[in-house]
Amino acid sequence: MTEKTEKQIKDEQMVQEEFNALLNEYLNSNHRRKVERITKAFNFANQAHAGARRRSGDPYIMHPLAVARIVCSEMGLGSTSICSALLHDVVEDTEYTVEDLRNMFGDKIAQIVDGLTKIAGGIFGDQASAQAENFRKLLLTMSDDIRVILIKIADRLHNMRTLGSMLTAKQFKIAGETLYLYAPMAHRLGLFSIKTELEDLSFKYEHPNEYEMINNKLRATEESRNKLFEHFAEPVHLKLQAMGMKYDMRARVKSAYSIWNKMQGKNVPFEDIYDIYAVRIIFDSQPGLDEKNQCWDIYAAITDIYRVRPDRIRDWVSHPKANGYQALHMTVMGPDGQWVELQIRSRRMDEIAEKGFAAHWKYKESNVEEDTELDKWLQTITEILESPNPNALDFLDTIKLNLFTTEIFVFTPKGDLKTLPQGATALDFAYALHTDIGNRCIGAKVNHNLVPLNHPLSSGDQVEIITSRSQKPQSEWLGYITTAKARSKIDAVLKKARKDEAQKGKTKILEAFKRIDLEATTSALDKLALYYGFPKREDFYYAVEQGDVMLPENIQKLLKEKTDNIFFKYVKQALGVGQKNEKNPQVKDEEKKEKPKFDKTKPYILRGDEYSKNYVIADCCKPIPGDDALGFINDDDTVVVHKRACPIAMRLKSSFGGRILNTEWSSHRNTSFDATLQVNGIDSVGVLTAITKTISEYNVNIQKVLIEAKAGFFEGKIKMQVHDVEDIQKMCVTLSKIKNIKSVGRIAE
């Protein structure tokens, strides 16, 4: 028997310490003591993963242990979830099967691990169909047992915490996936602190410089914030103590990602973000008193001290959010002349706000209503799954509509309350009532006034839907709705109608074949469809029925053309290629280019010489040298460069992670790029001259200037060609010093 090395001994000690920490956290929780069960799961997983290591060099078992600790301490789940977390990679990565786990740990743990194994490797695979299918599996399993998705989120959180050991391109892929889906999923399940950390970690890897800048500024302004909070809190403490309340009051600082998002959305610097912190009051419920009334008592006490802003009151106590969140929000004018947001909640509300639906199980006996919110959401997801969109990205976007939403509350004519996402329309409301009502909707009455289908609803509206038996969904309805349920139901009807029309078109084509006594083989139909530029027969059938394609009298003549010529004609139509070389479409061997090879272990250098540029700029976000950027390898091996924060790039990272490149700009002093500045300020004589003169000093080419003045203010957009971000930054600093200019910044256009 060989002696253990020093490394093996250290590894075993590290693993044992981590397991002891897990047991301590479990024993300090409110759950029943099932230590033997957890120990058995740990020993089994430790033996199954023996010898395996993570990219960081740590023993692999450290990952399941870390996931189990998140599940236990940060989500508040019990022994079944902890055991499932410890075992979550066993079936995927070792020789053991689900049946082995069922025999050793029972049906429930085996079922959860099986659900996690089905969605292993990330929600998104390499193929579009696989992405959608993996996601459907996740949602179906989730509706069966919510613990599957909770453990999956814990797994993703630990992967994000250890992302530093990955290649940069892989970091972009995983961070993009996380922002696109996991953070919204955590938000929807009420896991506020986990959602915030997932967003911040994604931001850290995608925009390291901005992440560091914001955190440095938060540290630098911490002392002044603390003084503001103490000044604000002093009279509130005296008032609440006089009322005999037991409570905690603390200031909560916005996350770096949230601050950056606001800076981007409002196009302002860090210094112009005024709601960087909010004050949270968490009180102990007094026996025999209603929590809701206690929230309003604290509200009344604070309004005796500070002036409240009426339009900023949010009552999530009477009407919890769909993720179960409850709190009373208010904004008051503080003693230092700054608006301060307050959140008032009980201990129970606070635990549910931080740990989401995981915490609901602790309170479900006393608060059954909140559990039904999750059931409602899962029911909506199940309905969408009944008629999923075959296009993976569209399907994911449809689901995502239901993830990150701010709710509004509207009423039926009988006074029943319905929750809808902000921006929902009368047509969304109709589909929320019933699919048939949505399909037959011709209009609505909102607060007794007749409105069209696309009328946006507001909280408190009373809505009556008007229907007609002759009505049916139209394609333009897709532009009238915002909810995932409405979109999936309209899509299903339109697809069925299109299928019926295509069937009629097919009948016409078959009759045309019959007239000339020609057999309508699959090959002949494909050839005919390609001739008219349709890669799919169904699209061709539909075009014939709609009258977009007129069939000739003699189909046989068309079919005699060579297949390659027909196919080449289709390819040219699809790509917009001209008629040149039509007679000889074959590419000579010497003209064939070797496919470029991409080394993902190194940054892809974006060369600046316009004659040998090795990339193209994406039109959606138009990055320029100096921007945080990434490359996407197109189907023709062209590298398309996007800003890392671009919404299109986020979808690409999520769906085609294997094609993402980490990029670096080379010197581009001899190349120019399009950029647009937005300048706002007070209208005055000579301000335009001052702006153009300042810009011309930077030796850039101004292409277009649009200035509009109204009511004493002006808004200007200046399109120009610059060399890099440094040009823009210097210009913005200089322009902001001009008298009467109030804001200046780069915009995407």
Is 517 in a helix, a strand, or coil? coil
Q: Active-site positions?
A: 92-93
Q: Which residues pair with 417 in a beta bridge?
A: 411
Question: Which residues are CB-contacts of 262 (< 8 A; sequence separation ≥ 6)?
Answer: 254, 268, 273
Question: Which residues are CB-contacts of 559 (< 8 A; sequence separation ≥ 6)?
Answer: 518, 524, 527, 528
* Residue 76 contacts residue 351 (beta carbons within 8 Å): yes
Q: Which residues of 578-616 are buried (b: 16+ CB within 10 A; e: fewer)?
A: eeeeeeeeeeeeeeeeeeeeeeeeeebebbbeeeeeebe
Q: How far is CA 711 from CA 51, 494, 743, in A?
A: 73, 48, 17
Cα separation of 727 and 740, whole Å?
A: 22
* Residue 445 contacts residue 451 (beta carbons within 8 Å): yes
Radius of gyration of the chain (CA): 30
What residue spans of 243-289 are helical by DSSP H? 256-266
Cα separation of 42 and 458, whole Å?
A: 51
Q: What is the widest separation between alpha-carbon atoms in the chain?
A: 98
What's the burial of 431, exposed, middle or buried (CB within 10 Å: 0-12/13-18/19+)? buried
Cα dihedral across residues 523, 529, 535, 541: positive or negative? negative
Q: How far is CA 644 from CA 172, 323, 608, 627, in A?
A: 8, 30, 19, 8
Is 373 in a helix, a strand, or coil? helix
- Which two structure tokens, joined as six digits, stand for 623? 């990055």
Name the DSSP class of 289: S
* CB neighbours of residue 713 within 10 Å: 13
Cα separation of 112 and 98, whole Å?
A: 10
Question: Which residues are CB-contacts of 336 (< 8 A; sequence separation ≥ 6)?
Answer: 228, 231, 232
